[in-house]
Amino acid sequence: MKWLIPILVILLAGLQYRLWVGEGSLAEVVRLSGEIETQRTENERLRERNRVLAAEVEGLKSGLDAVEERAREDLGMIKPGETLFMVVEPEER
């Protein structure tokens, strides 16, 4: 009987160690929950970026308006008879 209590105390200590520090511990669960939330946020940001890119690709495939807009913005092209005005802001020092 005098050996039963020390054995139970050692068993309890082992189980407590696993609960707080070991594999599958509460600290690990909290850390993984934070990582999951971070990944969900990143996935949502990437979904939105993909949605915007897909809409841009569809616009470029389906009509000339998107192609004209890209030519004007990226290449600085203008139609015959138009005048291009470029406003340059002074750099702040």
* 20, pLDDT greater than 80: no
User: What are phi and psi for residue 9, nearest 5 degrees?
Assistant: -65, -45
Q: What's the confidence (pLDDT) of residue 79?
A: 83
Whether the CB-CB separation of 38 and 30 falls below 8 Å is answered with no
**Is residue 77 classed as helix, strand or coil in its secondary structure?**
coil
* 24, pLDDT greater than 80: no
Q: What's the confidence (pLDDT) of residue 12?
A: 85
Q: What's the confidence (pLDDT) of residue 2?
A: 81
The ranges assigned to domains in the chain are 20-75
Ramachandran quadrant class, 76 (left: phi over 0; alpha: psi -120 to 50; beta: rest) = left
Distance CA 7, CA 59 (A): 73
* 22, pLDDT greater than 80: no
Q: Name the residue with tokens 């599958």.
A: 24
State pLDDT tens for residues 28-53.
Answer: 888 999 999 999 999 999 999 999 99
Q: What pTM did the predictor assign?
A: 0.55
